Structure 1
Amino acid sequence: MNHLSPVATPEILAEHIENTAVFASGTTHYPSQSVDPRSELSDHHQELRRCFEEVFEKCRQRDTICCCQLKTHTGFESTKMNPNHHNRHILERLLRNDDLARNPYLKWSKQDLATAPTARRIPFPNEDNDVSAAYRHALEVADTERQFPFMELPKDIRMIVYGYALTYEMVQTSRPSLLSVCRQIREEGSPTFFRVDDFRIHWETSGRKDSFQPKIRRDTLQWLGIIGPSQVENLHHLLLQNKAPAQPYRVDLSCGDTSKWSVAVRGPDHSLPSCPRKEFRTRGAMLADMRENGAEWLLPVLFPLQITKFIKSMEEAIQRTQKGMDLFADHCGHGKSVKPSIKGIEMVVRAFAAMMDSDGFD
């Protein structure tokens, strides 16, 4: 299927008009094999198409709804969902479940909503046509204005709270707002934030093709410099990525066994790194499956001799990577006591590059 860029010009859209059915917004499209162009639809079906597209756009704008649920591709505003009643209801359920996750009061019964303001001594709102909505709004406003003596809690309790509050599904690129409340919270919570969350490390190669040198990309180096050596030491979970289309590898720096490095198996694109539908497999598990069942499940086009060579290549790749991680452990420690540095992360990048370089056929 051909994809159009979100910034496609009218000329580009005109060139592809025969092969695509473009959304009303002009930025998203479906394949014409299953969807008729809008100009061929009746007024009724055009209204159905418009309703579907409105719900789809709402879902697409939610950073908590993974693109795999919309049957889209990361970086392209396209969908394989046909614009019909059934798929519109699927999208509406996605929005509803996302709203429930964002606002727990939506799950409360009307009786619970009516009794909560009394228990919390919140003034009863002026009732309108939607009584439940009025109570929910009153509780939400009270929550935003509510003060809690958080800093009076024992430090060990505060550290537990940080562990829950600073764990995110999205890959982090900046400090969360909680760490900007005050200096004490920033000093207490920052180590937990950098220790428990995933952080993407981009790398690139320099030099000639026959003697390339892997290195951390400049923007990533700048970010590491901004957070400082004291927080770099707290980084435990990295997502190593060379080029954007490729799936990043998950690396736990506290685990020295490189066969435990994991990558998302082949499947749909995911905009949420921790999407529950995203299946990760470790290199060791993939290699064990290949030894037992062959590589047909992964690369069905390979011949038996190629399968043997591919398995051997994977074994050598893991061995090379392990040597690099052993150097990292000697420099930065291992286990829970590991304290990474920029130099140590560069060692991990070189180890990862060695795996990718030897992963395949000569």
Structure 2
Amino acid sequence: MRSGDEDQINNSMQELFSAVANMEFPKSEEEKLSDSLLQQCRKEGICFCKDGELPKDHKKCCRVLERFIQQSEDARNRYSGWSLVDLKTELKQRQIPMPKPKKRSKPVITKLLQQSDSQIPFRLMDLPSEVRLRIYEHMLVDSSKQDISPSCGIETRRPSLLRTSRQVRDEAMPVFYGANRFRFALPHLDLNHKCEQWFSGRDKIWLDVIGPDNIKLLRRISFRLMSSYFEEFDLQIDLASRSINTWVIPVNSGRYLCPCKSLEKRTLMQWGEHMSDEVKPEAKENFFSYIDKLSETAKQAIQDFQALCGGGREVQPTAAGLDILARAAHAILDHRASWVFYCTDLGGLMDFDSDEDEEDDDEDEGDDEEDEG
């Protein structure tokens, strides 16, 4: 139950959203402002989903929302702070006929200037390359920070901006493939199963379509594994990094939480330390040993990947290199999914040495057969 103060604060913040909805401007502008507010709120950690929590600093959040609204209003009308003299001067400089004396009011002159603005041609290629790159980032990079997934049917076709001209495509393609994070689905297999093809279905088709030239532009990827317990586990990887500290697990991995929560991430070691409190006491020693094994798996995958594709700024990923990372990610996520079931109150104690026990059993069976012979 929420206290009376929290309800009052929540109502106040809802009133801010209602004020936005009641602003008088075209529907399209209202939708853009609403989307912008939601995105900015997520960046500030303000969440109104059913799984979210009330922000700790409510007054600050209210001020943030008010600032967003004011900024949106100012952006919608760039002449709102201009004096009548400034408006007339701007009108003369553009050689726009001055209205009759009785109609020389701020609203009338502002409308004339806005009409003139809409008729000014915009030449993208006349801008400096640095400015063009910022425009490409604004247009092509997903501001919600969510992964782009071919396997889940999320739109991954080449954006229309990349089809305007060859020069724009050559400049913007590295931004689209390099700044966004692309998520691939991993098959749910037994830990000892040997998989020859880690990418299949839509993921495989998408990689074939974009081809080697665009695969080498990828810099940020993630892998998702759907466990047998119908929970999703993610692992995010920075392809240019040589450190396993860039292999991170979102805190909502394995739980259905608001996307706002996915902005918080932990490395493999941080995740192990955080989750160790939930491990049964009799499993703690084996659990930390198991975390070390997962770290070694990640380190070996990084070495193999960089031996094939390079590292740092010179990295050029290939389909074969992504296979190396997919294999390691599957081992890490599948072990993690098993831990969630066996190491917590959901189930029994997980046997971290199951692989070694199976090998010992095989050897014992072989010895028995020799004795019988």
The verdict on a shared fold, with TM-score over 0.5 as the criterion, is: yes
| Partner SS state of residue 241, structure 1 | strand
| Partner SS state of residue 215, structure 1 | coil
What amino acid is the match of 1:201? Answer: R
1:235-250 alignment runs, 5 A limit: 235-243=218-226, 246=232, 248-250=234-236
Counterpart position of 2:81: 109
| Partner SS state of residue 256, structure 1 | coil
Q: Is 1:332 paired with 2:305?
A: no
Distance (whole Å) between structure 2 residues aligned to residue 279 and residue 105 of structure 1: 36
Q: Deviations over 1:20-76 (max 9, x none)?
A: xxxxxxxxxxxxx669xxxxxxxxxxxx9x979967997876663556633315xxx
Query: Which one of 118, 121, 125 corresponds to residue 151 of structure 1?
Result: 125
Structure 2, unmatched stretches of 5+, are 4-11, 22-30, 149-155, 340-349, 352-373
What amino acid is the match of 1:351? Answer: A
| Partner SS state of residue 190, structure 1 | helix
Please give the TM-score of this superposition, normalised by the length of structure 2. 0.60
Say which one has the larger Rg.
Answer: 2
What amino acid is the match of 1:334? Answer: G
Q: Determine if contact 1:264/1:281 at 8 Å carries over to the other structure.
A: yes
Counterpart position of 1:121: 94
Counterpart position of 2:131: 161
| Partner SS state of residue 250, structure 1 | strand
Structure-2 change in CA distance of 1:205 and 1:123 (3 Å): same
Counterpart position of 2:6: none
Distance (whole Å) between structure 1 residues aligned to residue 79 and residue 214 of structure 2: 39
Equivalenced residue count is 296
Moved more, 340-349 or 116-125: 116-125
Distance (whole Å) between structure 2 residues aligned to residue 133 and residue 175 of structure 1: 43
What amino acid is the match of 2:193? Answer: S
Q: Is 1:191 paired with 2:166?
A: no
| Partner SS state of residue 266, structure 2 | strand
Counterpart position of 2:268: 283
Counterpart position of 2:243: 257
Distance (whole Å) between structure 2 residues aligned to residue 269 and residue 140 of structure 1: 44
Distance (whole Å) between structure 1 residues aligned to residue 70 and residue 251 of structure 2: 26
Distance (whole Å) between structure 2 residues aligned to residue 320 and residue 186 of structure 1: 38
Counterpart position of 1:302: 279
Q: Determine if contact 2:244/2:295 at 8 Å carries over to the other structure.
A: yes
Distance (whole Å) between structure 1 residues aligned to residue 16 and residue 162 of structure 2: 40
| Partner SS state of residue 187, structure 2 | strand
Query: Which one of 292, 311, 323 corresponds to residue 300 of structure 2?
Result: 323
Structure-2 change in CA distance of 1:208 and 1:240 (3 Å): closer
Counterpart position of 1:178: 161
Structure-2 change in CA distance of 1:185 and 1:309 (3 Å): same
Distance (whole Å) between structure 2 residues aligned to residue 120 and residue 114 of structure 1: 10
Q: Is 1:200 paired with 2:172?
A: no
Deviation, structure 1 residue 299: 4.8
Distance (whole Å) between structure 2 residues aligned to residue 97 and residue 212 of structure 1: 57
Structure-2 change in CA distance of 1:221 and 1:302 (3 Å): same
Structure-2 change in CA distance of 1:301 and 1:247 (3 Å): closer
Q: Determine if contact 1:332/1:340 at 8 Å carries over to the other structure.
A: yes
RMSD after superposition:
4.9
Distance (whole Å) between structure 2 residues aligned to residue 253 and residue 66 of structure 1: 29
Structure-2 change in CA distance of 1:104 and 1:239 (3 Å): farther
Distance (whole Å) between structure 1 residues aligned to residue 34 and residue 264 of structure 2: 22
What amino acid is the match of 1:279? Answer: E
Q: Determine if contact 2:248/2:268 at 8 Å carries over to the other structure.
A: yes
What amino acid is the match of 1:306? Answer: A
Deviation, structure 1 residue 345: 1.5
Q: Deviations over 1:274-302 (max 9, x none)?
A: x8xx3333335x16xx6xxxx3x545333
Deviation, structure 1 residue 89: 6.9
**Identical-pair percentage:** 16
Distance (whole Å) between structure 1 residues aligned to residue 257 and residue 63 of structure 2: 19
